[in-house]
Amino acid sequence: MDLKYEDTRQRMLELLDNTSRETHILISRLDPDRVIHSDQRAWRVRDILGHLGVWNMEAARSLQAYADGAEYSCIPSEAEYYDYNGPAADERKTWTMDQVWAEYDTAHEKLNRIVESLSGEKWDGALLYPWNSRGTVQYLIEVMMKHETVDHCELIIEATG
């Protein structure tokens, strides 16, 4: 067994677990309808959580496809991110908080299961990311968890003081 691979896998599993736990602690104490920021639409706490859930689910789909020897992306390029992101956010605006949490938790659970079961040979290969670029499994997990913690949870913390 490759110890470097096992060490990296364990670090990624810890990152997934820690990120999910911290997001749960943060979001659970807030009014889900509080507006955090506005661009073309008002983004409430629940909308940001929905956004995180949908993108983590897309990451899980890409990772599962890679594990199965296939490829998956949900958009043709990063340039079309907003064409996907807006409608996905709008769809979740009508969801209950229980539905939003369920998608978020399911996405994290899927990411965990796939990372736990992924073979060592696949670990350093180049998989297709949901936004149609390529990189390693480790980088996908790191980018997605940074997206969650830095790009969004820190924004929530700043907005709620």
| More confident of the two residues 118 and 37 | 118
Cα dihedral angle (101, 102, 104, 110), rounded to 10 degrees? 160
Task: Indicate the domain borders of the chain.
Answer: 3-160
Percent of the chain with pLDDT over 70: 98
Q: What is the pLDDT of residues 101-156, one digit of tens each?
A: 999 999 999 999 999 999 888 998 999 999 999 999 999 999 999 999 999 999 89
Q: How far apart are CA 152 and CA 94, in angstroms?
A: 20
Domain 3-160 architecture: Up-down Bundle (1.20)
